[in-house]
């Protein structure tokens, strides 16, 4: 595969960002041009991605020496590309979904003050995300990782006049920072253990040092350096996972994602559903070799499944359309972590792909609803929209069916693979997973029934303006609806024998030898289908003609409706103590007291010395000459008598 | 006739010049003392030139005199303009540099 | 005691007395006149040393031009009354005298010791130098050196004098704008 292709692929969004970012002032009057440039930049990347994909499919990957552009910090860290099956899958998701969302945004952001700024950020995001997936080492991945974090922050706080938006942006940034800290430490640990950060180098060394006895237990061997009595590999993988927890919104760092919905809806679709939040999953899949050897996948899987359940429960009681989708995203990300955690990397990535399509689709339809409803978010104030917004309704229904695991739609295949693999690893994880699947179907269809069916509860004034979105918005919806429906059928039929698995099996670490054969997938499929349909049916019975009550009736409901008070708990036990400590210790004591004290003290001291010294400056020329002559006499004396 | 007689005379004249610069407050007299010091140096130059049988020392004296002439012209001009502004040429009254 | 030595002591004594008078008189006119005496006796010393050119320049430039300039300024500023106020910067006086004595002692020390045991410092160095050099230093030698080896410094000197000329004009020029 030509390296230049990848360079074009990478640079194109950067060029778009520069044009929109630097010349936005002149483009402002021409929205079509500004948006067109943004979309075109991603389209170029999309075409390159397709070429790269075909190339990889024919067996031409770009790995090792061939991908290195520039050797930095000689022999340790290089800047280069690593393009294999996993990368191209991510590339297609990023540029494919990204392109459609750019097109959609042209219509959605119409008339916004920061139109060019929006496209500049969006292109920058795509660029950063491409760096993340293209890098051939952890450092480059980290650069992209931080880049997408920055863009996420910028886009969440895009409407910066809104206090809630800027707060949400800060929250996302700070919470992510915790995860990034873990990622950094993980990187340091890897560097300490392997002396390099290149994927190739680390994986090769790790495989050589791999203990003879393979298994899912934690490694206890002298092959790896030890820190605190544990293998560096275990430490490193866990620390990297902390990074993934932050970026991919898992327990306990998921709190930023629901708030991130303050950003424009296409941003939620692209960044906070389809691509950025899946970076953690990608990272673990990329590090599959390490997780296989260290055996820390168990931790990943457990965190993932608990997050999936927890977020699904919260989603049941939410009334804000985007927040429901946000919790749903958290929940689905949990599934992906279950997949990669139990060693079914291909399944996890497969779910990532299908989720990118159907969740992106649902966010965009939610945006379409908001667009029609004058930015109303509360589903209790909707209802009966089916007739007014037919395309939106159909596309949303496709997305919801896909996520709920309706037979033969894409979510059905990918989720089922994960659950199937989970069964092979731990029965408990499977049971929690299947329960979550039920909840997923339930809350999704609760959303649909309340929003699109039943009596209209729309404000009459708003209702008079109710209209279907323009073509530039609904066409991307329709296009996204197609893969959401059929991509699973295309790629996923056959479970662990599917096309997708064969395509990705050459990626380092993906091919895991399961202890025993997993057995037939068909019973699992049947169970999943039944559970999904049950969930839909239950939602039908409860919300067919009923509005969710405004006030929770019992304690349990109240607990769920308030998201288990997690934000409040964090606020009381973490945020406030830190704020107080900052205020009293850092600001009052350390900054005002010690730092300012030192600075002012130095100034006072210098003034005092100056006050003494100024007396020497008598202004009398002769006094100066006297001191000069004294100097001459002393020097002469020294010269004459001491040399 | 030994060189050292001339050098001793030169040193004495120079020192008288230094003392004059230090103890007089009249800028013009201070200036004269500076001329005295330059002359003392000239004397040493010529004497050593003579001892060495080399004309270079005398050329140095020539240059010193040229520079001294320029310096006197400038210095006196400064004294005149100081006097115009301050109505005095006493150096202890010209103390704008006082800290 | 040779005639040269007698003349040296006479000229030396006169120049020292003149120098002391310069710093002793209260009135600047007297100081200036004393300075002229010193310059003339120094010219005599230069003649003794065989530096006829320097002696002539000393009389013409120093005793003539420069001292006329001094006298002009003194009269222009009418300084007689001012300096009659007298007293010197009292505190410095003692310090200055002590420093002067130290400096003089060092100078004499150098004069006596610097050239001992060298060819130049020997008692009859000057005579022997005269004997060694076939032609004593003539004014024509100085002129030749000045326009060959020392041509560049010579030209630079002319520039310095020009700069001084312009500087003086700028400094004492009546400022038309502020005056009117």
Q: Cβ–Cβ contacts within 10 Å for residue C147, how many?
A: 10
Query: At which residue do the structure tokens 């008079």 appear?
Result: A464
Listed residue (A355, A358, A365) closest to A475, CA to CA: A365
What is the ipTM, given to two decimal places? Answer: 0.90
Over residues C66-94, mean pLDDT: 71
Question: Which residue on chain A is closest to B93 by alpha carbon?
Answer: A620
pLDDT above 90 for B38: yes
Q: Do B25 and B92 form a contact (C-beta atoms < 8 A)?
A: yes
Q: What is the pLDDT of residue A184?
A: 94
pLDDT digits (tens, 9 = 90+) for C138-178: 888 888 888 999 999 999 999 999 999 999 998 888 766 55
Q: Indicate yes or no: CB of B49 within 8 angstroms of CB of C137.
A: yes
Count other C-beta atoms under 10 Å from residue A623's C-beta. 19
**Touching partners of C (3+ C-beta pairs < 8 Å):** A, B
The domain spans of chain B are 3-86
| C-alpha pair distances (Å), C123 with each of A138, B1, C48 | 89, 6, 16
Interface check B86 vs C, CB under 8 A: no
Residue with tokens 């909707």: A382
Q: How does residue C91 score in pLDDT terms, banded at 50, 70 and 90? A: low
Q: How far apart are CA A224 and CA A234, in angstroms?
A: 10
Query: Shortest Cα distance from B3 to chain A (angstroms)?
Result: 20
Q: How much is the pLDDT for A31?
A: 82
Using CA atoms, how far apart are residues C39 and A282, in angstroms rounded to an integer? 98
Interface test with B, best of A615, A622, A623 (most B CBs within 10 A): A622
Grade residue A148 by pLDDT with cuts at 50, 70 and 90: very high
Q: What is the pLDDT of residues A350-376, one digit of tens each?
A: 999 999 999 999 999 998 888 888 878
Cα of A564 vs its chain's centroid, Å: 23
Which pLDDT belongs to residue B90? 81
Higher pLDDT, A199 or A211: A199
What residues of chain A, 490 to 529, have a C-beta less than 8 Å from chain B? none
Please report all neighbours of B, defined by 3+ CB atom pairs within 8 A: A, C
Calculate mean pLDDT across residues A399-403.
90
What is the predicted pLDDT for the residue at C1?
67
What pLDDT, in 10s, does the model give residues A306-318? Answer: 999 999 999 988 8
Interface of B with C in 23-82 (CB under 8 A): 23-26, 28-29, 31-33, 35-36, 39, 42-43, 46-56, 58-59, 61-63, 65-74, 76-81
**Do B77 and C171 contact (CB within 8 A), yes or no?**
yes
Mean pLDDT of all residues in A391-396 = 89
Please write the tens of the pLDDT for every residue from A250-308: 988 889 998 888 889 999 888 888 889 999 999 999 998 888 888 888 899 999 999 99
pLDDT at position A498 is: 80
Which residues does B contribute to its contact with A (CB < 8 Å)? 18, 21-22, 25, 91-92, 94-99
Residue C42 forms contact with B (CB below 8 Å): yes
Q: How far is residue A14 from each of residues A20, A126, A128, A271, A622, measured CA to CA in Å? A: 10, 8, 9, 17, 70
Cis peptide before C156 (omega within 30 of 0): no
**Stretch (H or E) spanning A71:** strand A68-72
Residue A515: pLDDT band by 50, 70, 90 thresholds?
Answer: very low
Which chain C residues are closer than 8 Å to A623 by Cβ?
92
- Residue identified by tokens 């030509």 is A2
Tokens found for residue B77: 């001009």
Res B23: pLDDT:
85
Task: Please give the interface size between B and C, counted as residue pairs whose CB atoms are below 8 Å apart.
Answer: 243
- Rg of the Cα atoms in chain C: 21
- Pick among A611, A618, A621 to test the B interface (most B CBs inside 10 A): A621
Q: Which of B41, B62, B88, B95 to mutate to test the interface with C (most CBs of C within 10 A)?
A: B62
Q: Comparing C-alpha atoms, which of A624, C85, C31, C24 is closest to residue B88?
A: C85
**Sequence-separated (6 or more) residues with CB below 8 Å from residue A509:** A203, A287, A288, A289, A290, A291, A292, A345
The fraction of chain A above a pLDDT of 90, given in percent, is: 35
pLDDT digit string, tens, across residues A204-248: 888 877 654 444 444 444 455 566 556 778 888 999 999 999 999
Over chain A, what is the mean pLDDT?
Answer: 86
Report chain C residues whose CB lies below 8 A from the CB of B58: 51, 53-54, 137, 142
Could you give the CA distance from residue C13 to residue C24 in angstroms, rounded to a whole number?
Answer: 16
Instruction: Using an 8 Å CB-CB cutoff, list chain B residues near A625.
Output: 21-22
Joined tokens for residue A140: 């480059």
3-class state of residue A179 by DSSP: helix
Q: Do A620 and B92 touch (CB under 8 A)?
A: yes
The answer to whether C96 contacts chain A (CB < 8 Å) is yes
Angle at CA of residue A250, ends A244 and A253, nearest 5° = 90
User: What pLDDT is recorded for position C114?
Assistant: 74
Q: How far is A630 from chain B (nearest CA, A)?
A: 11
Contacts of B98 in chain A (CB under 8 A): 617-620
Cβ contacts (< 8 Å) between A619 and chain B: which residues?
Answer: 95-99
Q: How far B67 CA lies from chain A's nearest CA (Å)?
A: 21
Asked if the Cβ–Cβ distance from A618 to B96 is below 8 Å, we say no
Cβ contact (<8 Å) for C28 and B42? Answer: no
Tracing tokens 């003089």 back to the chain, one arrives at C104
**pLDDT for A23 beyond 80:** yes
Residues B1-20 have a mean pLDDT of 88
Comparing A70-79, A207-216, A368-377, C61-70, which segment has the lowest mean pLDDT?
A: A207-216
How big is the A-C interface in CB pairs under 8 Å? Answer: 22
What pLDDT, on the 0 to 100 scale, is given for residue A470?
82
On whether the CB atoms of residues A88 and A53 are closer than 8 A, the answer is yes
Q: What is the mean pLDDT of residues B63-68?
A: 92
Question: pLDDT tier at C81 (50, 70, 90 boundaries)?
Answer: low
- Count of C-beta atoms within a 10 Å radius of residue A184: 18
Query: Which listed CATH number (1.10.287.3510, 3.40.366.10, 1.10.3720.10, 1.20.1530.20) goes with B3-86?
Result: 1.10.287.3510
Minimum Cα–Cα distance from A637: chain C residue: C106
State residue A503's pLDDT score: 84
Report the pLDDT averaged over residues A551-557.
Answer: 75
Helix (H, G, I), strand (E, B) or coil at A295: coil
Higher pLDDT, C174 or A394: A394
Q: What is the pLDDT of residue A217?
A: 44
* Cβ contact, residue pair A622, B92, below 8 Å: yes
Beta bridge partners of A72: A77
Per-residue pLDDT at A450: 87
**Beta-ladder partners of A304:** none
Gap between the Cα atoms of B47 and A324, Å rounded: 107
The minimal CB distance from A626 to the residues C95, C106, C109 is found for: C95
Q: Which residues of B are less than 8 Å from A622 in CB distance?
A: 21-22, 25, 91-92
SS3 A81: strand
Query: pLDDT band for position A550 (50/70/90)?
Result: low
Q: Which pLDDT score is estimated for A91?
A: 93
Nearest chain B alpha carbon to C122:
B2
In this predicted structure, what is the pLDDT of residue A518? 64
Compute the mean pLDDT over every residue in chain B, rounded to the nearest whole number.
87
Taking the C-alpha atoms of residue C81 and residue A505, their distance in angstroms, rounded to an integer, is: 111
Give the per-residue pLDDT at C93: 77
Considering only alpha carbons, which residue of chain B is nearest residue A632? B18
How large is the average pLDDT for residues A541-558? 75
pLDDT above 90 (res A109): no
């Amino acid at each position: 595969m030509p390296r230049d292709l990848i360079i074009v692929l990478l640079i194109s969004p950067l060029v778009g960002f520069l044009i929109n970012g630097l010349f936005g002032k002149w483009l402002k009057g021409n929205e079509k041009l500004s948006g067109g440039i943004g979309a075109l930049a991603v389209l170029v990347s999309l075409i390159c991605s397709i070429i790269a994909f075909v190339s990889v499919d024919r067996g031409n990957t770009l790995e090792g020496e061939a991908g290195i552009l520039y050797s930095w910090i000689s022999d340790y860290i290089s800047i280069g590309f690593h393009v294999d099956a996993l990368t191209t899958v991510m590339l297609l998701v990023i540029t494919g979904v990204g392109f459609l969302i750019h097109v959609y945004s042209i219509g959605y952001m119409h008339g916004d003050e920061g139109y060019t700024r929006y496209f500049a950020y969006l292109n920058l995001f795509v660029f950063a995300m491409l760096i993340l997936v293209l890098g051939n080492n952890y450092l480059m991945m980290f650069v992209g990782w931080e880049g997408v974090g920055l863009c996420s922050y910028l886009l969440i706080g895009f409407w910066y006049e809104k206090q809630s938006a800027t707060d949400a942006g800060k929250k996302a940034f700070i919470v992510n920072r915790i995860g990034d800290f873990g990622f950094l430490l993980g990187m340091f640990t890897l560097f300490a253990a392997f002396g390099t950060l290149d994927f190739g180098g680390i994986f090769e060394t790790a495989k050589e040092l791999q203990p003879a006895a393979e298994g899912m237990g934690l490694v206890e061997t002298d092959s790896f350096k030890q820190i605190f009595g544990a293998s560096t590999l275990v430490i490193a993988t866990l620390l990297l996972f902390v990074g993934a927890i932050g970026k991919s919104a898992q327990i306990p760092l998921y709190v930023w994602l629901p708030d991130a919905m303050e950003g424009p809806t296409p941003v939620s679709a692209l960044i906070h559903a389809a691509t950025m939040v899946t970076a953690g999953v990608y990272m673990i899949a990329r590090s599959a070799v390490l997780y296989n050897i260290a055996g820390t996948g168990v931790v990943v899987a457990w965190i993932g499944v608990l997050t999936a359940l927890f977020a699904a429960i919260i989603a049941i009681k939410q009334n804000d359309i985007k927040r429901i989708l946000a919790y749903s995203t958290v929940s689905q990300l949990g599934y992906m972590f279950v997949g990669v955690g139990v060693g079914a990397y291909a399944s996890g990535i497969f779910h990532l792909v299908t989720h990118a399509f159907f969740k992106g689709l649902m966010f965009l339809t939610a945006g379409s609803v908001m667009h029609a409803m004058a930015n109303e978010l509360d589903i209790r104030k909707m209802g009966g929209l089916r007739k007014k917004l037919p395309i939106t309704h159909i596309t949303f229904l496709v997305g919801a069916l896909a996520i709920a695991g309706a037979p033969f739609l894409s979510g059905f295949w990918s989720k089922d693979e994960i659950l199937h693999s989970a069964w092979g690893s731990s029965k408990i994880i499977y049971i929690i997973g299947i329960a979550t699947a039920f909840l997923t179907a339930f809350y999704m269809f609760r959303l649909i029934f309340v929003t699109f069916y039943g009596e209209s509860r729309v404000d009459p004034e708003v209702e008079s303006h109710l209209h279907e979105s323009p073509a530039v918005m609904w066409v991307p919806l329709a296009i996204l609806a197609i893969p959401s429906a059929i991509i699973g059928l295309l790629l996923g039929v056959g479970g662990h024998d599917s096309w997708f698995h064969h395509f990705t099996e050459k990626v380092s670490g993906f091919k895991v030898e399961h202890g025993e054969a997993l057995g037939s997938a068909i019973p699992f499929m049947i169970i999943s289908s039944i559970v999904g349909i049950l969930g839909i049916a239950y939602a039908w019975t409860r919300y067919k003609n009923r509005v969710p009550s405004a006030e929770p009736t019992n304690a349990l409901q109240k607990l769920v409706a308030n998201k288990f008070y997690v934000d409040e708990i964090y606020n009381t036990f973490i945020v406030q103590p830190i704020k107080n400590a900052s205020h009293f210790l850092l600001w009052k004591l350390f900054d005002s007291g010690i730092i300012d004290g030192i600075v002012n003290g130095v100034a006072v001291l210098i003034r005092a010395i100056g006050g003494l010294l100024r007396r020497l400056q008598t202004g009398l020329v002769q006094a100066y000459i006297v001191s000069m002559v004294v100097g001459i006499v002393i020097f002469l004396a020294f010269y004459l008598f001491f040399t | 006739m030994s060189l050292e007689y001339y050098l001793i005379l030169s040193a004495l004249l120079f020192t008288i010049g230094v003392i004059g610069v230090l103890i007089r407050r009249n800028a013009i007299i201070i200036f004269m003392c500076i001329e005295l010091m330059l002359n003392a140096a000239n004397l040493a130059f010529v004497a050593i030139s003579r001892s060495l049988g080399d004309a270079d020392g005398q050329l140095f004296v020539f240059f010193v005199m040229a520079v001294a002439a320029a310096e006197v012209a400038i210095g006196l001009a400064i004294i005149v303009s100081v006097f115009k502004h301050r109505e005095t040429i006493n150096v202890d009254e010209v103390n704008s540099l006082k800290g | 005691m040779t005639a040269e030595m007698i003349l040296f002591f006479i000229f030396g004594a006169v120049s020292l007395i003149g120098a002391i008078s310069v710093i002793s008189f209260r009135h600047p006119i007297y100081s200036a006149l004393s300075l002229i005496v010193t310059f003339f006796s120094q010219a005599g010393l230069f003649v003794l040393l065989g530096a006829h050119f320097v002696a002539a320049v000393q009389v013409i430039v120093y005793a003539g031009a420069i001292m006329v300039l001094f006298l002009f300024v003194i009269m222009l500023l009418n300084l007689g009354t001012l300096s009659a106020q007298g007293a010197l910067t009292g505190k410095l006086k003692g310090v200055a005298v002590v420093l002067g004595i130290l400096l003089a002692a060092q100078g004499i020390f150098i004069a006596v010791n610097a050239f001992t045991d060298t060819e130049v410092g020997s008692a009859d160095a000057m005579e022997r130098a005269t004997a060694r050099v076939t032609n004593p230093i003539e004014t024509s030698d100085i002129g030749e050196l000045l326009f060959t080896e020392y041509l560049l410094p010579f030209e630079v000197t002319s520039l310095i004098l020009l700069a001084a000329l312009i500087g003086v004009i700028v400094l004492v020029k009546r400022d038309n704008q502020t005056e009117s």
